[in-house]
C-alpha cells in the first residue's frame, strides 16, 4: 500500500518537473570533462609503464622515503587531531566559557586560509627566531626545516575535519542515555568510555580518515616549513613536483597513482563509516 | 554547574539557556568536576591559540613590521598588481563555471530520483580528496608537451599550460564540488511541491527555476559561491604545477607569496599573504552570517 503510493508519487514527480534529461546530461558531460577524463588520463598514463618499471620507481629509496614521510606523519598528525579535536569539541559543545563562539568560528581558519599563507606563517612562527621556535629551540627542539615541522603543518591543516565531523554528532546525542547510565550507578568516566565514546565512534573515525587524507596530499602549508631534504623531510607531493620539473613524467605519474588509490580507499571507507553511523542514530 | 549559568549572557540562545536550566534541575549526571572542566577548556583554547590564532597574527605583524608605507609600497609593485588581477580573473572564471554547474547538477540530483545518485555525488566530491599537486598533474599529462593533446595544441598554436586557461582549469577542478555540495542537501530538503505547483499553473521550466527555486536557495547559492571563491583565490598546489611561474604573467597571489618568500622579500611576501588572510577572515565572517540565514530558513520550513 505504502510502497505503491511512494512509487506513484515518484512517477508523478518525474512527469511534472521538466529538465531532468537536460540537466543530467550537462552534469555528466561537465563532470567528465573536468574531473573524470583528467583523472582517467593519469591512470592511462600509468598503464604505459610496465609492472617492472612501476615497481622500480616506487621501490627507489627516495620515493619510498617520501611516501613514508607523507603517510607516516599524516597518520601521526591525524591521531593528534583525533585527540585534540575531541577535547575541542567537548569544550565547545558541553561547556560555556568566554569567547566560546569566537573559538568555534576560529576552528574553520585552516579550511579558509590559503595553504601558502599558512605555510609561510607557520614557518615564521616556528623558525629558530620565531615566537614559538625560539623558546622551543632553547629546549633543544627544532621544528622548522625538520620532519617535526611537517607534522606541525599537518596538525594545523587537519584540525577542522575532526571538529566539524564530531561536533554535530555530540550536539545531537540523546542526553537521556547518559543520565540513565549515571543514575544506574556508572561513574562519569565509565559513562564517557562505555556510552558516549561508542556513539561518537563512527564520527571520530570519519574525522580521522578525512584529516589523514587531507594531510597526505597537503602541499602548500607543508613545503615552506619542511626543509625538503630528500629522504628526510621530503613529502610525496613535493617529489611529484620535482619529478615533473625534471620531465620524469613516469615517476610523477607512478607516485600520483599510488596516492590516488589510497585516496579512493579512504573515500570508500568514509562512505562505509557514514552508512554505519546512519544505521545507529539513536531515536530521540 | 553554577559556572555554566553565570556565563550564559544575552549572546547565548534561549535554547541554550533552557538547556542550562534543565541541567540544573537534574543531577550532576551529565558533567564533570570543575577541575576537569577548566582543564579541558584550557587545553582547547591553548591548542587553538597556538595552531590557529598565532599563525594569523604572525602574518599581519610581519606584513606591517616596517610600517604601513612599506606595506602599501609592496602591494603597489607591478608584480603584485599583476598577481592580484590574475587571481581575480581566475576566480571569476572558475566560480562562474562552478556556479552554473552547481545549479544544473543540484537540479538534476535534488529534484529527481534515479539509481546511482549516491555514486554520482561521490564523483562530484572527488576533487576534495585528491592532492592539489595531482589536480595540477592531470592537466600537465593532458595538455603538456608530452601529453595526450600536447601535439595537437602545438600544431594549432593553443596555449593551455603555463597560461590562464590551464590555471583556470586546475582551479575549476579543485573548486568543483563547492556550489553543488552546498545546494544538493538544501534543495533535497525543500522538495518539489512548490515547483510542481508553479508548473501546474502553467509556468515554464525556466520561469519556475528563476521565480520559485532560485529565491528559495539564494542563501545556499551565496554560501557555495563564497567557499568556492575563497578556495579559488587561495589555491596553491594545483596552480603551482600548471602555472610555469612566469613573473608578472602567470603568478597568482599565492604563487607570488612563495616566490617573494624564497627571495627573502619577507615584507612583500607577508603583505600579499595578509591580503589572502583578510580574504579568509571575511569569508569566515560571511559564512557565519549565512549559516544563520540558512538555519532560519530551515526553521521556517519546519514550522
Mean pLDDT of B5-25: 56
Q: What is the pLDDT of residues B103-155, one digit of tens each?
A: 999 999 999 999 999 999 999 999 999 999 999 999 999 998 888 999 999 99
Q: What is the pLDDT of residues B175-207, one digit of tens each?
A: 999 999 999 999 999 999 999 999 999 999 999
Question: Does A5 score more than 70 pLDDT?
Answer: no
Task: Inform me whether the pLDDT recorded for B4 exceeds 70.
Answer: no
Cβ <8 Å between A35 and B126? yes
Is the predicted pLDDT of residue A105 greater than 90, yes or no? Answer: yes
- Cα A205 to the center of its chain, rounded Å: 11
Instruction: Report the sign of the C-alpha dihedral through residues B115, A213, A244, B78, in that order.
Output: positive
From chain B, the residues in CB contact with A255 under 8 A are none
Q: Which of B6, B137, B241 to mutate to test the interface with A (most CBs of A within 10 A)?
A: B137
B-chain CB neighbours of A264 within 8 Å are: 129
Output the DSSP codes for chain B. -HHHHHT--TTS-HHHHHHHHHHHHS-GGG---HHHHHHHHHHHHHHHIIIIIHHHHHHHHHHTTTHHHHHHHHHHSHHHHHHHHHHHHHHHHHHHHHHHHHHHHHHHHHHS--TTHHHHHHHHHGGGGS-HHHHHHHHHHHHSTTSTTHHHHHHTT---TTSHHHHHHHHHHHTTHHHHHHHHHHHHHH-SHHHHHHHHTT--HHHHIIIIIHHHHHHHHHHHHHHHHHHHHH--HHHHHHHTT-TTTT--HHHHHHHHHHTT-HHHHHHHHHHHHHHHHHHHHHHHHHHHHHHHHHHHHH-
Percent of chain A residues topping a pLDDT of 90? 77
Out of B142, B230, B241, the one facing A38 most closely (by C-beta) is B142
A178 SS3 class: helix
- Nearest C-alpha in A relative to B143: A38
Place B303 in a pLDDT band, splitting at 50, 70 and 90: very low
Q: Does B81 lie at the interface with A, CB-CB under 8 angstroms?
A: no
The yes-or-no verdict on residue A28 having pLDDT over 80 is yes
Q: Answer yes or no: is pLDDT of A217 > 70.
A: yes
A17 to chain B: closest CA residue: B196
- Tell me whether B255 touches chain A (CB under 8 Å): yes
Give the cell for residue A69.
Answer: 614521510
Tracing cell 503510493 back to the chain, one arrives at: A5
The arithmetic mean of pLDDT across residues A23-46, rounded, is 96
Q: List C-alpha distances in Å: B223 to A58, A196, A238, B218, B288.
A: 42, 33, 32, 9, 10
Report chain B residues whose CB lies below 8 A from the CB of A35: 123-124, 126-127, 173, 176
Residue A10 banded pLDDT, cuts 50, 70, 90: low
Q: How far apart are CA A152 and CA A144, in angstroms?
A: 9
- Considering CB atoms only, which of B4, B140, B192 is closest to A244? B140
For B148-170, the pLDDT digits (tens) are: 999 999 999 999 999 999 999 99
Element (H, E) at A174: none
Which of B42, B134, B199 to mutate against chain A (most A CBs within 10 Å)? B134
Amino acid at each position: 500500500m505504502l510502497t505503491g503510493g511512494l512509487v506513484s508519487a515518484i512517477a508523478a514527480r518525474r512527469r511534472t518537473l521538466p529538465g531532468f534529461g537536460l540537466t543530467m546530461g550537462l552534469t555528466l558531460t561537465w563532470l567528465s570533462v573536468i574531473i573524470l577524463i583528467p583523472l582517467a588520463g593519469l591512470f592511462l598514463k600509468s598503464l604505459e609503464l610496465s609492472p617492472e618499471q612501476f615497481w622500480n620507481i616506487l621501490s627507489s629509496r627516495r620515493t619510498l622515503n617520501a611516501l613514508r614521510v607523507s603517510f607516516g606523519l599524516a597518520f601521526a598528525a591525524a591521531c593528534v587531531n583525533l585527540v585534540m579535536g575531541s577535547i575541542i569539541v567537548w569544550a565547545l559543545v558541553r561547556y560555556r566559557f568566554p569567547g566560546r563562539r569566537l573559538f568555534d568560528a576560529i576552528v574553520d581558519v585552516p579550511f579558509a586560509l590559503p595553504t601558502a599563507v599558512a605555510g609561510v606563517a607557520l614557518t615564521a612562527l616556528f623558525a629558530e627566531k620565531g615566537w614559538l621556535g625560539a623558546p622551543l629551540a632553547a629546549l633543544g627542539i627544532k621544528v622548522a626545516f625538520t620532519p617535526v615541522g611537517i607534522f606541525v603543518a599537518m596538525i594545523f591543516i587537519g584540525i577542522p575535519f575532526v571538529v566539524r565531523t564530531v561536533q554535530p554528532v555530540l550536539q545531537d546525542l540523546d542526553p537521556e542515555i547518559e543520565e540513565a547510565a549515571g543514575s544506574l550507578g556508572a561513574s562519569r568516566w565509565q559513562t564517557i568510555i562505555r556510552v558516549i565514546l561508542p556513539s561518537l565512534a563512527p564520527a571520530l573515525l570519519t574525522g580521522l580518515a578525512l584529516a589523514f587524507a587531507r594531510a597526505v596530499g597537503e602541499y602548500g602549508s607543508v613545503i615552506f616549513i619542511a626543509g625538503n631534504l630528500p629522504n628526510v623531510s621530503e613529502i610525496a607531493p613535493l617529489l611529484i613536483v620535482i619529478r615533473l620539473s625534471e620531465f620524469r613524467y613516469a615517476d610523477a605519474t607512478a607516485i600520483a597513482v599510488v596516492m590516488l588509490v589510497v585516496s579512493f580507499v579512504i573515500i570508500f571507507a568514509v562512505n562505509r563509516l557514514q552508512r554505519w553511523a546512519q544505521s545507529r542514530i539513536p531515536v530521540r | 554547574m553554577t559556572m555554566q549559568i553565570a556565563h550564559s549572557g544575552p549572546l547565548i540562545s534561549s535554547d541554550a539557556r533552557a538547556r542550562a536550566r534543565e541541567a540544573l534541575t537534574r543531577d550532576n549526571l551529565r558533567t564533570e568536576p570543575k577541575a576537569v572542566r577548566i582543564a579541558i577548556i584550557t587545553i582547547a583554547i591553548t591548542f587553538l591559540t597556538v595552531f590557529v590564532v598565532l599563525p594569523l597574527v604572525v602574518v599581519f605583524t610581519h606584513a606591517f613590521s616596517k610600517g604601513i608605507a612599506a606595506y602599501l609600497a609592496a602591494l603597489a609593485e607591478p608584480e603584485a598588481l599583476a598577481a592580484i588581477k590574475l587571481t581575480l580573473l581566475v576566480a571569476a572564471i572558475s566560480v562562474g563555471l562552478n556556479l552554473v554547474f552547481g545549479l544544473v547538477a543540484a537540479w538534476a540530483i535534488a529534484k529527481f530520483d534515479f539509481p546511482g545518485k549516491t555514486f554520482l555525488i561521490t564523483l562530484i566530491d572527488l576533487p576534495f580528496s585528491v592532492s592539489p599537486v595531482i589536480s595540477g598533474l592531470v592537466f600537465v599529462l593532458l595538455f603538456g608537451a608530452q601529453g595526450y593533446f600536447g601535439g595537437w595544441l602545438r600544431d594549432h598554436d593553443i596555449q593551455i599550460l603555463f597560461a590562464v586557461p590551464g590555471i583556470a582549469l586546475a582551479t575549476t577542478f579543485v573548486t568543483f564540488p563547492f556550489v553543488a555540495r552546498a545546494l544538493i542537501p538544501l534543495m533535497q530538503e525543500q522538495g518539489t511541491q512548490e515547483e510542481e505547483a508553479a508548473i501546474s499553473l502553467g509556468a515554464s521550466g525556466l520561469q519556475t527555476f528563476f521565480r520559485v527555486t532560485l529565491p528559495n536557495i539564494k542563501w545556499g547559492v551565496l554560501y557555495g559561491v563564497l567557499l568556492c571563491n575563497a578556495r579559488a583565490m587561495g589555491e596553491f598546489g594545483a596552480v603551482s604545477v600548471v602555472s610555469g611561474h612566469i613573473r608578472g604573467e602567470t603568478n597568482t597571489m599565492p604563487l607570488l607569496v612563495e616566490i617573494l618568500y624564497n627571495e627573502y622579500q619577507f615584507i612583500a611576501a607577508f603583505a600579499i599573504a595578509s591580503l589572502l588572510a583578510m580574504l579568509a577572515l571575511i569569508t569566515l565572517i560571511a559564512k557565519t552570517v549565512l549559516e544563520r540565514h540558512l538555519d532560519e530558513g530551515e526553521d521556517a520550513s519546519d514550522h
